[in-house]
Amino acid sequence: MSDTTANTEAAPAVAPAVENVQTEVQTEAVEAPVAEAAPAAEEAPKTEDASKQEEKKPEATKSIDRADFKNNRKLDPSTQPVTDDPGKIRNQVEFYFSDSNLPTDKFMWETTGGVENKPVSLKTICSFKRMQMFQPYSAVVAALKESALLEVSGEEGQETVKRKKAYTSSSDAQRARLAASVYVKGFGEEGGSTQFDIEAFFTKFGQVNLVKLRRTEQNEFKGSVFVEFKTEDEANAFVALNPAPKWQDQELVIKKKKDYLDEKTQLIKEGKMEPGASKKKIFFEGSIKGADRGRGRGGRSGGDKGDWKSRRDNDQRNGFKGGRGRGRGGRGGRGGRGGRDNRDRNNDNNNNKRAREDDGDKSAEPAAKKVDTKAEQQ
């Protein structure tokens, strides 16, 4: 389950239910042993002062591509072995069409028409980065013909695929997915197999619908994830584990996603945290959510970005009720609610699917982020 971008490939899938997130069971990549370097000829012994200075050397800073933020995603499907495993194939493709991914995946939503449930060319699906590990094409066709969620039709070599039951928007289903989601932090920096490794980690604790790597506006991995389990009970059981699970011997911060979001909201209300300045727009069910609506008459540029405490105090006096800060700019003011967190959005061979988040950006291409989505507060 990867982040969802316009690239349906890199996303993890979900279990073959309406909320499918694929999570491939992936053994942790083992680093090849490094050959011992030959001793340097007559190397002068280091003085104590020199050794101390060496210890104080700062770690090399991470390379950030500021020209194209998409390059800051490190997902590399080529780190995974090529397979024709039908369970893994089904989990991945079902994830793309699942309730956990479809409404937030711009490419898939527009290609299927959302509730219209239009068929999609299977060759288009197979062009996604994450699908390229599944070979040959005939194995993909055979696996999907056994899917409980999808149906395959069309002539040989020209197959199309769609959901057996069209997507239906449901506030209750959205609330249920939030209740089944957790926030976990402590995963360090991202590598080519990180998405796969984290997906495999969580499948040990239940059926996973989605694993979303959280990212900054520059698409850098924050070291934290949102994980959607199949049920609320599985999410609660994971949070209650004692001792708490660790990631590569590192302790993790673990809590329910709703608790995490509520804590951040409260800190903002109390003035202990500045609201995020992210302008990233979030796609959900065909609409753009979380777009800036401007402040007062001058739109977003008309307000003082540093005066957020005054606006907060104002809101507190008004009880944080809707319609705040409208003034002459109509809906200007503070910009309404600021959108919803719709990115609640990896494998036991057949039970889990992965998120699409890290498939790359396919918004403008025929291959599906994830998405990687809006940048949430750390």
Question: Could you report the per-residue pLDDT of 173-226, keeping only the tens digit for each?
Answer: 999 999 999 999 999 999 999 999 999 999 999 999 999 999 998 999 999 999
Provide the 3-class DSSP secondary structure of residue 350: coil
Average pLDDT over residues 50-61: 39
Q: How confident is the model at residue 65 (pLDDT cuts 50, 70, 90)?
A: confident
Average pLDDT over residues 87-94: 97
CA pair distance 224, 221, nearest whole angstrom:
8
268 vs 297, which has greater pLDDT? 268
Cβ atoms < 10 Å from Cβ of 300:
15
Lowest mean pLDDT among 10-14, 97-101, 289-293, 305-309: 10-14
CB 12 within 8 A of CB 356: yes
| pLDDT above 60 for 303 | no
The amino acid at residue 194 is T
Average pLDDT over residues 99-125: 97
Q: What share of the chain is helix, strand, coil (3-state, %, to 5)?
A: 30, 15, 55
Phi, psi of 215 (to 5 degrees): -135, 160
CB 22 within 8 A of CB 347: yes
Average pLDDT over residues 324-351: 40
Q: How confident is the model at residue 165 (pLDDT cuts 50, 70, 90)?
A: very high
**pLDDT at residue number 282:** 86
Lowest mean pLDDT among 225-229, 241-245, 341-345, 353-357: 341-345
**pLDDT at residue number 27:** 28
| pLDDT above 80 for 356 | no
Phi, psi of 361 (to 5 degrees): -95, 110
CB 209 within 8 A of CB 368: no
Q: How confident is the model at residue 307 (pLDDT cuts 50, 70, 90)?
A: low
Highest mean pLDDT among 75-89, 260-274, 298-312: 75-89
| pLDDT above 70 for 13 | no
CB 104 within 8 A of CB 342: yes
